[in-house]
Amino acid sequence: RITARDVDEARDRVLMGPERRSMVVRETDRKVTAYHEVGHALAAQLLPHANRVAKLTVVPRGRAAGYMMPDADDRLHVTRPALEDMIAVALAGRAAEDIIFHEITTGAQNDFQQATSIARRMVTEWGMSDRIGKVAHATDQGTYLGGGPQMLPMSEHTAAQIDHEIKTLIDAAYTRATDLIGEHLGRVHEIVSVLLTRETLTGEEFAALLNGETLEPLPPAAPSTPPSLAG
């Protein structure tokens, strides 16, 4: 019989790769991962146009040390405020690391790529920069093997303006994420403590913790059955 847990595991395996519970992770790394993922989750749950939290975990899976999975996005049209919130959610993991540890790690590589991609498309494809205007500077037509949008020929001045606008969007989103985490820092510490103990939280559990509620204790693990002695 296929259960909801089986479906959840199959989805995560496809999206993120297999669990690596046998992987030995230093406690300091687990702590960094927990704050990173709770940072993502806090922004996803509180920013008005972001997709809410479906799940977050510190169990390594695939190449990820942990991850926060947002609810599925079924919007046909995405607004500028929603895109700005997406960027802030992507950067909130790094913001949490910066606030808590006063250091930055390599764990945010994919987050930066995602945030920069959204910001660049806002500026070069979707006409969402007042400075650049309602002009397309990239095209996805004729790209080789779906390699992503290709920049159209432009002057050095225009290219510099585009880079400036992208950086402006990124910096503004990072400031929003940092302010949000700072405002709710006490709750962040509490949720991280629970996440490190339970390893995985559902969206409903995260929302409850964010509201100051407590979770039901985990059921005790079933004792392992010793192998029978040959006799």
Active site annotation includes 27: no
Which residue is catalytic, options 9, 19, 27, 37? 37
Partners of 103 in the beta sheet?
none
Residue 98: alpha-carbon gap to chain centroid: 16
Measure Cα distances from 118 to 78, 82, 114, 133 in Å.
11, 11, 6, 17
Element (H or E) spanning 93, and its range?
helix 80-101
- Amino acid sitting at position 187: R
Q: Which residues pair with 55 in a beta bridge?
A: 69, 202
Which tokens is 176 given?
Answer: 């929003």
In the structure encoding, which two tokens stand for residue 69, read together?
A: 């999975």
CA dist 98 and 28 (Å) reads 15
Catalytic residues: 37
